Structure formats: structure tokens, C-alpha cells
Chain A
Amino acid sequence: DVKVTQSSRYLVKRTGEKVFLECVQDMDHENMFWYRQDPGLGLRLIYFSYDVKMKEKGDIPEGYSVSREKKERFSLILESASTNQTSMYLCASSQPQGESFEQYFGPGTRLTVT
């Protein structure tokens, strides 16, 4: 079974703090993704990575950065957290586009910025 884990289920941070969200997958997947999910807006792609040290911006990268130093680990960084970054953050992984490239999701981190 594919397993994607995220470092925290719930996180509360103050405005201006630097926040790290960690994601680890155990299926040797090439691709990893960070989304945020908000009511009425659905899942939106923040950043993705298709290889170690490679990253691409998604639809809403502003205020975020990412790091992928090892294949199994993909980190999302909020350099200076703001209240509008309060959200559910979901990590996913997949094989490259081909016959079977469905994304497998982690359980999510609910981040509250106060």
C-alpha cells in the first residue's frame, strides 16, 4: 500500500512565523505535490516537484517555497505566515504521467495562523 505521511495533523502558528510542513512517501514516486484546500475553492496546487532538487510553481505559489533534497521527502515552507494561509494543506505523490499516475494523498495538515 502506498503511504504518504505528513508531519502534523494540526498546527497553530503566529503571524510572521516561519512554518515547515513535511511530507514523506514510501513508494519511490518521482512526483510530489503540495495543495491547499479551502471551502468553496477546492484543491489548489501550490508547488510540485518531478525530481530531487527540481520544483515547479503551481497555480498559487505566492508566499510559499518548497524543498526536495531527497526523493521521498517534500517540504512546504511558509517564510512568514499570514492569516490568509490558514487552510488544510495536502501533500500527494505519483508516478510520472503515463499509464498509471494517480496521485496518492497524505492525511493533511490543518494549519491555523493567528
Chain B
Amino acid sequence: GQNIDQPTEMTATEGAIVQINCTYQTSGFNGLFWYQQHAGEAPTFLSYNVLDGLEEKGRFSSFLSRSKGYSYLLLKELQMKDSASYLCAVSRNSGYSTLTFGKGTMLLVSP
């Protein structure tokens, strides 16, 4: 089976840095996605990591350690609009592009 864990909720202050962790246990691991979902809206793609290391994309960065089954999403210079749910999702070497999602981390950014 698969197990994906991420914190349920986090709070942070505008302008700060926050790190959202995701741990996973799965056979045939291929890569890891991060999605952002604002309340009442569809998830939108943020990042995809298949190799170990850090991928930077503007204010957002994502890190993967395949040997530790661990990823994190780093958000810098937080803005109020970053208040959203952040979903970690794992893809497997199944031949299909299916994803298994974690339950999401609700991030609340306060002034």
C-alpha cells in the first residue's frame, strides 16, 4: 500500500518563510508533485521532483530525498494570497500517470 503524511494545518506570518513537509512510503516510487488549492477552487500544479535535491521556482521551492521518503515545499516572502491547502502527491512506476494524494496541509497566512 501507500502512505503519505503531511501536517493538517500550519500558520505563518506575512513576509515569513514556511516549510511544509511530506513523508511517503510507497513501492515503485517515480516522483512527487506539489499542488496548491485555494478554498472552493481546483488544485493547481506547483512543482514536480523526480531526482534528489532542490528545485526552485520563484518564491516556491521543492525538495526531494528519495532515500528518506521525504519532500518539502518551501514558501518564501509569504503573501496573504498564499493562504491555501497544499497537496503532496506521489506517482509510481505503474505505466499510468496516476497520482496518490496526501490529505493536504492548510496554510493560513496572517498579517
A→B interface (CB under 8 Å): 4, 31, 33, 40-45, 48, 50, 56, 58-59, 90, 94-97, 101-108
Q: Tally of A-B residue pairs with Cβ under 8 A?
A: 56
Contacting residues, chain A, for B100 (C-beta < 8 A): 45, 59
Specify the chain B residue showing the minimal Cβ separation from A103.
B99
Q: Which residues of chain A are within 8 angstroms of B91 by Cβ–Cβ distance?
A: 97, 101
Indicate if the CB atoms of A31 and B96 lie closer than 8 Å: yes
Among A56, A96, A106, the residue within 8 A (CB) of B42 is A106
Residue of A nearest to B43 (CB): A105
Q: A40-B103, A42-B102 are in contact. Are A48 and B42 (CB under 8 A)?
A: no
Most chain-A Cβ atoms within 10 A of its Cβ — which of B30, B41, B87, B104? B104
Q: Which residues of A contact B101 (CB under 8 A)?
A: 42-44
Q: Which residues of B pack against A, CB within 8 Å? A: 30, 33, 41-45, 48, 87, 89, 91, 94-104
Residues of B within 8 A of A33 (CB): 98
| Residues of chain B contacted by A106 (CB below 8 angstroms) | 42
Q: Given A102-B33, A102-B48, check contact A42 B96 (CB 8 Å).
A: no
Closest to A110 in B: B40
28 sample A-B contacts, Cβ–Cβ < 8 Å, listed by A number: A31-B97, A41-B103, A42-B87, A42-B102, A42-B103, A43-B43, A43-B87, A43-B104, A45-B98, A45-B100, A48-B96, A56-B96, A90-B43, A95-B97, A96-B96, A96-B97, A97-B30, A97-B91, A97-B94, A97-B97, A101-B97, A102-B48, A105-B42, A105-B43, A105-B44, A107-B41, A107-B42, A108-B41
User: Which residues in B have their C-beta under 8 angstroms from that of A96?
Assistant: 96-97
Q: Which residue of B lies closest to A6 (CB)?
A: B42
**Bound-complex Cα distance A114 to B94 (A):** 38
Q: Chain A contacts of B42 at CB under 8 A?
A: 4, 90, 105-108
Q: Other CB < 8 Å A-B pairs besides A44-B101, A90-B43, 13 of them?
A: A33-B98, A42-B87, A42-B101, A42-B104, A43-B43, A48-B98, A58-B98, A94-B97, A97-B91, A97-B95, A97-B97, A101-B97, A105-B42
A106 to chain B, nearest CB (A): 6
